[in-house]
Structure 1
Amino acid sequence: MIRAFGAALTAFAVMAAGGAMSETTMKIISFDELEGWAQDDHEAARQVFLNTCMDFDAPDWQTICAAATGIKDARNFFELLFRPVLIEDGAPGLFTGYFEPELDGSRAPDGRYRFPLYRMPPEARKATTWLTRREIETTDVMRGRGLEIAWVDDPVELFFLQIQGSGRIRLPDGSHIRVGYGGANGHPYRSIGVELVRRGVYSAHQVSAQVIKNWVRRNPEDGPELLRHNDSYVFFRVVNRVSPEEGPLGAMNRSITEMRSVAVDPEFTPLGAPVWVEKDGENPLRRLMIAQDTGSAIKGAQRADIFFGTGDKAGRAAGKLKDEGRMIVLLPIQRAYAMLPESVL
């Protein structure tokens, strides 16, 4: 599941359902009320917490970060310094998954690697709206200018990498290049999934990233034309701040961790805060994660996107996830009680 694509579908579904947000409520609960709390690997969660806690500005969070390695037992660390807070806004809990795409590519083109990832040209950066996807792909405007970062072997995966905005390129020697969003041509995004529904090819509930990929590949003429229905075009940059072997950067500009980092709505959940996830569905999950990322469609107190890692296997697992449950935020003790309305104190 490509994150932006899946998030857009989820947002569309919520809008179609006519859901409305109600007043936000907050309730402190005990650690005993967290189902499966005692069985989790709290040390793994603490290590992920340490990846970003040094970025907190607030004194209470800074104090906790300083104490994070001083308390020997990780479970005691969380239980002594935090309180679980259930924050609700009237919408049911919903968990989805996202991942970092990994494409096969090369630093030089050949018979297999023919589709380039481009840096943003200077004239596009200066323009509010530049050329369309079709004009970029079917003319010589980009060629011979040294703007290529790498060439990949699959134009469909490249298209979805642009939707995602970041990913990793696996080179023939086994090394990697990590790329991030480097700018866009200024045209609004047009959903090719919505276009397939409009054409009557699929109904809305059938559309997924994998369904679209399969359709494009089965239709060698109409497939590329469908992709060009989306005028928006994304350019990339090489991300050197962290090793390509580490996790991608999240919203806190730090590497995120497979199955321990979660994207949240910062209007309700502070970035960097520990979050207890109780996800139901086919593969129930009870795990302490850290809120280290955000997403354009991750809106609401009980809405979260779980990071599944890098590559196809992670993508398949993430694409299956759309489950209910609940999310409890762990906040510093004084902060937790200060947030409660006076009527419940």
Structure 2
Amino acid sequence: MNTSSSNAPRASRKSRAMTFPWIADTASMRSGRSIRLASIIAIVALLAACVGTPLPPMAPLPPGADAEPTATGQRPGDAGPLPAPLLKAKSRWVPVRWAELPGFEEDALFEAWNAWIKSCERPGPTFAPLCGEVRRLSIASGEEQRTWMLARLQPYRVEALQGSAEGLLTSYYEPVFKASRQAGGAYEVPLYRTPATLGSRKPWFSRQEIDTLPEAKAALKGREIAWVADPIDALVLHIQGSGRLSISEPDGAQRTVRVAFAGSNDQPYRSVNQWLLEQGVSKVSPWPDATKAWVAQNPQRVQQLLWSNPRYIFFREEVLSDFDAAFGPKGAQGVALTPGRSIAVDPGSIPYGTPVWLASRGNAAALQKLVFAQDTGSAIVGAVRADYFAGTGAEAGEMASRVNQPLRLWVLWPK
């Protein structure tokens, strides 16, 4: 679960109205191996489900739903009167034709189906009735999946309550760092489990107090999971909310584990890059490389920089199997995130588990694709606001650090 936006500078920026042309999706966050592995996982999950409780038969599609799209992009089945708009706590959903969704005919939907099957592990009452058909369609063609979506779902354009349909897309990822089970040598920065006294006060100690107060230090003594070498790497883990550690065990063995979000000190999040800008630093991007460069030149001010963000994250260690390795950590919905197909949203605008059509164009990426609302974050606030899960490792992190661009969203709601 991400606890903020993808990086420090993005967390403090406000969304503003923007106009831009839509172009085809040119970004893919999976390697070929990951795609094949995730597809195999989906098929295995489907077969396992079929061995258990029999899936209900799919209802017949309405006449004309499977017809080819016309020259205007509208299918014959996408006709008839539109339903009324829907009002949510933080957004307004306006019904539209499928033809309004940019790139709908081009998206590789089979890649998204793995994320949909994950959502069906913990579906809400609205989408639970569709999960049997979703599982059956995991081995269907993209055209069959598209036809089913058109027949079963109604697209709604997400707008702010004030009427704007344009917002902001950022991105986050799962970092990978070297770590040690024992402090010493290069490894001096601890990652902690939740302290037993976490609920005794709200908010709990700030980052500065954790580093300086005997009471806070005593509460965390013995709660160390592992140590990393760089305080900025630890901060990256705190900002992203989870990560993987390549750990040196006391017996010399090496293994990879996941450290997942387990709680926070309930202090407000503050952008360290915004703090750097306030200090007169002109270049704070890309994150975290620019921050590490500043730290190398100002070693006496490292603690001051870290303490500018009072929010502190606690982790739990999870065993990372080959099955788990194809997916990210669990998001707020309680299911594992799928690289390139999961987003964090404001649940006051879009409920968890909702399929969403995302369209965004910027210097970092051009995206027109099916994604799923499976996570949230403290900085992900507003109607048209999303944080795109880029995946795991340095390549995903490099992509995530550059995404800060215009966004439009359409929720796909059962008819």
TM-score strictly above 0.5: yes
Shift of residue 159, structure 1, vs aligned partner: 2.2
Give 1:265's aligned amino acid: D
Q: Is the 8 A contact 1:274 1:329 kept in 2?
A: yes
Task: Name the SS of the counterpart of 2:120 in structure 1.
Answer: helix
Shift of residue 307, structure 1, vs aligned partner: 0.5
Structure 1: how far apart are the matches of 2:384 and 2:337?
Answer: 20
Shift of residue 330, structure 1, vs aligned partner: 0.9
Change (3 A) 1:224 1:217: farther
Shift of residue 248, structure 1, vs aligned partner: 0.6
Q: Is the 8 A contact 1:261 1:292 kept in 2?
A: yes
- Partner residue, 1:78: 149
Which residue of 109, 114, 135 corresponds with 1:47? 114
Give 1:80's aligned amino acid: A
Which residue of 187, 200, 208 corresponds with 2:280? 200
Change (3 A) 1:181 1:45: closer
Shift of residue 223, structure 1, vs aligned partner: 2.1
Q: How many residues are paired up?
A: 325
Percent identity, aligned pairs only, is 35
Can you list the C-alpha shifts for 1:100-158, whole angstroms capped at 9, x where unaligned?
22221122334232322122333455344665544544687459943221111212111
Q: Is the 8 A contact 1:54 1:62 kept in 2?
A: no
Give 1:311's aligned amino acid: G
**Residues 122-137 of structure 1: matches in 2 within 5 Å?**
122-128=196-202, 132-134=206-208, 136-137=210-211
- Partner residue, 2:80: none
Structure 1: how far apart are the matches of 2:266 and 2:130?
Answer: 43
Can you list the C-alpha shifts for 1:51-91, whole angstroms capped at 9, x where unaligned?
11242342x52221122133543222222211221121233
Shift of residue 211, structure 1, vs aligned partner: 2.7
**Residues 92-241 of structure 1: matches in 2 within 5 Å?**
92-128=166-202, 132-134=206-208, 136-137=210-211, 141=217, 145-172=221-248, 175-185=255-265, 188-202=268-282, 209-239=288-318
Structure 2: how far apart are the matches of 1:28 and 1:39?
Answer: 22
- Partner residue, 1:68: 134
TM-score by length of 2: 0.68
Q: Is the 8 A contact 2:295 2:302 kept in 1?
A: yes
Give 2:303's aligned amino acid: P
Q: Is the 8 A contact 1:3 1:97 kept in 2?
A: no
Q: Is the 8 A contact 1:193 1:207 kept in 2?
A: no
Task: Name the SS of the counterpart of 2:388 in structure 1.
Answer: strand
Q: Which moved more, 1:157-166 or 1:259-268?
A: 157-166
Give 1:77's aligned amino acid: W
Change (3 A) 1:192 1:281: closer
Task: Name the SS of the counterpart of 2:293 in structure 1.
Answer: helix
Give 1:14's aligned amino acid: K
Shift of residue 323, structure 1, vs aligned partner: 1.7
Shift of residue 309, structure 1, vs aligned partner: 0.8
Q: Is the 8 A contact 2:206 2:310 kept in 1?
A: yes
Q: Which moved more, 1:190-199 or 1:304-313?
A: 190-199
Q: Is the 8 A contact 1:102 1:168 kept in 2?
A: yes
Structure 1: how far apart are the matches of 2:266 and 2:9?
Answer: 22
Q: Structure 1: which 5+ runs fail to align?
A: 18-22, 334-345
Q: Is the 8 A contact 1:115 1:152 kept in 2?
A: yes
- Partner residue, 2:13: 13
- Is 1:56 paired with 2:136? no
Q: Structure 2: which 5+ runs fail to align?
A: 18-89
- Partner residue, 2:48: none
Structure 1: how far apart are the matches of 2:210 and 2:379?
Answer: 28
Q: Which moved more, 1:8-17 or 1:171-180?
A: 8-17
- Is 1:280 paired with 2:351? no
Please provide the CA RMSD for this pair. 3.3
Q: Which moved more, 1:176-185 or 1:135-144?
A: 135-144
Structure 1: how far apart are the matches of 2:169 and 2:132?
Answer: 31
Q: Is the 8 A contact 1:68 1:77 kept in 2?
A: no
Which residue of 314, 332, 337 corresponds with 1:256? 337
